[in-house]
Amino acid sequence: MTALRPERESDTSYGQQSYGVPGASEDWSGGAYGAAPRPEPQPYSPEAQARAYPGGPGSQPYAPGPQPQPQPYMPQPQPQPQPVPQPDPYAEPYGAGAGANVGAGAGEPFLPPADEETVALRIPDPLPSDGDSAGDPIAGSRAASRARRDGPASGGRAARRKAAKRRHGRHGGPAEAPAGAPAREGARAPLSRVEARRQARARKPGVAVVASRAIGEVFITTGVLMLLFVTYQLWWTNVRAHAQAGKEASSLQNDWASGKRNPGVFEPGQGFAILHIPKLDVVVPIAEGTSSKGVLDRGMVGHYAEGALKTAMPGDKTGNFGLAGHRNTHGEPFRYINKLAPGDPIVVETQDEYYVYKMASILPVTSPSNTSVLNPIPTGSGFTKPGRYITLTTCTPEFTSKYRMIVWGKMVEERPRSKGKPDALVS
């Protein structure tokens, strides 16, 4: 039964203008859109279906195709369960809720640095139940370790503050173990008083150790003192003696220029002449006497003028002018007199004259008691008659005073100071 509906412009125009066929209407009895009449339905048959649709299901007889072969079962890898990240109990007050500080990603809290008071005032999360621990073994182990470390979360603010102090220690020191807590792995049990005393006695050094240490310290101290003494003798005495000798020579020349010193008898230790040995570059004052402390140790050479060892002065017409000086230490003016050769000049400068001697002979070794070397005609010098001689005496070998070395010279020129320096000093 066809339903009634009002006519519309679109329907009328659609029926009239369908595919350009004028006068077409909606009446299906005359064919759609004014076409030829609809054919009558025919009964189904495979032959007719094959003729109507070549290549269709009825065109060729049915033949079963190849069946797929069953494949062996291959187990697929199962995804491993990932641990569920547990929220930090101290991050909840700063969660991603309203007014929270959010980090780079959504829901990532930004926690400010916390001090001990802040940590003490934070309320930790309640421990998970057995079911939660069984479901999440990681969370259960964390909760168990937190429970062993912190103890039960009970009490008010004071209790939490004490727990924080036990965990972090006072003033940054080692943490205090809570009462009843099991000892940590590797911690040593406190020693008893008897055991502590026994260990203290065992650590105390014995008598032999103390004695060996004392002897070693004595040896070290002795070695240091000897080293200081050697340094003083070989270096500092020379420095001081050179300074004293130079000062005495300068003062002597100034007195000569000003006329303060006159020739005559001199007091022990008083300088009266200057000795020049050009080959050895020696310029040293000559003082009266051979005292070690007053003359020789001050870097000067001494004139033998005491008792049986009294010798002549340079101005005497005949005689032997005998001098003594150190070979080592205290200025060591005679250290290299063994290098003098016959003919080398030795000059004695006084207030009015220059006395020039030529080195004649040397006696390398003799006894300290051999005073004959200072005679007016010295024994062993090779001189056979009276004359004006000079004798230089010093210790030998070096750094000892066991023997004496003797050098002799003979005067060859006497020159007044008014005529200037002799050729031996000028050249």
Supply the residues annotated as catalytic.
326, 395, 404
Distances (CA, A) of 257 to 80, 155, 263, 417: 115, 106, 13, 11
- Cβ-in-10-Å burial (0-12, 13-18, 19+) of 226 comes to exposed
Q: What are phi and psi of 119, to 5 degrees?
A: -65, -35
**Residues 393, 420: Cα–Cα separation, whole Å:** 29
Q: Do residues 381 and 366 lie in contact, with contact meaning Cβ atoms separated by under 8 Å?
A: no
**Residues 169, 175: Cα–Cα separation, whole Å:** 4
| Nearest CA among 117, 115, 176, 110 for reference residue 149 | 176
DSSP class of 351: S
SS3 212: helix
Tell me if the bond preceding 397 is cis, omega within 30° of 0.
yes
Around Cβ 197, how many Cβ atoms within 10 Å? 11
Helix axes 157-168, 137-150, angle to 10 degrees: 90
Residues linked to residue 282 through DSSP beta bridges, in sequence order: 277
Q: What is the dihedral of CA 163, 145, 155, 90, to 10 degrees?
A: 80
Residue type, 274: I
**402-427 burial: b if 16+ Cβ within 10 Å, else e:** eebbbbbbbbeeebeeeeeebebbee
SS3 349: strand
